[in-house]
Structure 1
Amino acid sequence: MLIGYMRPYDGDQDCHIQLENLTKSNCDKIIKEEHSSAKKRTQLKNIVDHVQPGDKMIVHKLFALADSTRHLVELLEILETKGAYFQSLREGIDTSNKKGYPFNDIVKHLVEFQSDVISERTKKGLNKAKQKGVPTGRPRKPDENVKRAIHMYQSKKYSLTEIKKETGISKSTLYRYLES
């Protein structure tokens, strides 16, 4: 049996891209997780618990299946133990292909996968912060402190340690403002 699995993520919240690709792969069954959270992936657990020897689990891309490299490895080991296979369409991985999959490609895809995981988590965090009205990025130092630090530095009466203690402006920040 070909079992398609999909879950929402930032690039495909409604799962349309995944559904289109899984449908083209002639899946016998397509199962959708209702949320993108790493926790309580009930549909994934159900598939893994009930997969039969010879079944193949298909995803659009690795990120849809696992939340970390370790999680991916664990899932692949479980499927292998049960005699089932795995296929990721975007990466071109198919464990049922007995000719094997070149190690270089596996490493390359694992690096891309880890990058996708980090990127998705970052995007999710930034979106949540924006929705709450929280400014993103490194906070700027108050202008009064910068001016005071420059004045203290130019007076040559204070050490850099004293300036930092008094104003909270680090040596590198002070020098950056002095250069501009």
Structure 2
Amino acid sequence: MKYGYMRPTIADTSCDQQLKMLEPICGQVYIEEHDSAKDRTELLALLQNLSEGDKIVVGQLFTIADSSRHLMELLELLDRKGAYLQTLKEEIDTERKREYSLSKMLNHLVEFQNEIIRERTKKGMEYARKHGKASGRPRKADENVKKAIEMYQSKKYTLKDIKEETGISKSTLYRYLEN
């Protein structure tokens, strides 16, 4: 039997996109209510219900695992149960083991790691935005910039003096001077 598994992501918070991909090809779909790496009750239920020959289908590798270690643990468990994993985006199907070269698998692993980083970064930025925190490098106070420009244009101060007095670096000063 093919079982679908999905969980919310920043790009698909309601799992609608994943459901469109999995529902037509899976007999049953397990959906997590949250995107947290902890307390994955639906994944645990799915893993307990697996029988030999069953297959878990996910939209992408990042959906089922949160780290390389977690992925390896899941693959080992599936192997012990005689079950398989299929990912639609990466086109991985562990039932067809002999079709994958080492370079292809490494490429998938690198992309998997990038997806983890992207998702965690987006989550952090979304959390910060919801809590009123600005992202990016903090802006320098306008009075310090004005003072640094005046000091530079007076030609009486070195760049080192300007930085010590205002906290404005050479590159920041030049960036403001270009505008």
- Structure 1 length-normalised TM: 0.85
Paired with 2:65 and 2:160, the residues of 1 have a C-alpha distance of 47
Give the % identical residues: 56
Q: Per-residue displacement from partner, 1:53-82 (whole Å, max 9, x unpaired)?
A: 322111111121112333223322222233
Aligned to 1:52: 51
Aligned pair count reads 179
What is the alpha-carbon root mean square deviation over aligned residues?
2.2
Paired with 2:127 and 2:95, the residues of 1 have a C-alpha distance of 40
Within-5 A mapping of 1:25-36: 25=25, 27-36=26-35
- Point out the more displaced range, 13-22 or 149-158: 149-158
Aligned to 2:13: 13
Report the alpha carbon displacement of residue 85 of structure 1 after superposing the two structures with TM. 1.0
Paired with 1:125 and 1:98, the residues of 2 have a C-alpha distance of 36
Q: Which runs of 5+ in 1 are unaligned?
A: none
Q: Per-residue displacement from partner, 1:105-143 (whole Å, max 9, x unpaired)?
A: 322322332222222222222222333333332222112
Q: Which runs of 5+ in 2 are unaligned?
A: none
Q: Per-residue displacement from partner, 1:70-98 (whole Å, max 9, x unpaired)?
A: 32233222222332211112221100114
Aligned to 2:177: 178
Report the alpha carbon displacement of residue 36 of structure 1 after superposing the two structures with TM. 0.6
Within-5 A mapping of 1:1-180: 1-25=1-25, 27-180=26-179
Give the residue type in structure 2 aligned to 1:38. A
- Point out the more displaced range, 88-97 or 77-86: 77-86
Paired with 2:24 and 2:40, the residues of 1 have a C-alpha distance of 24
- Structure 2 length-normalised TM: 0.85
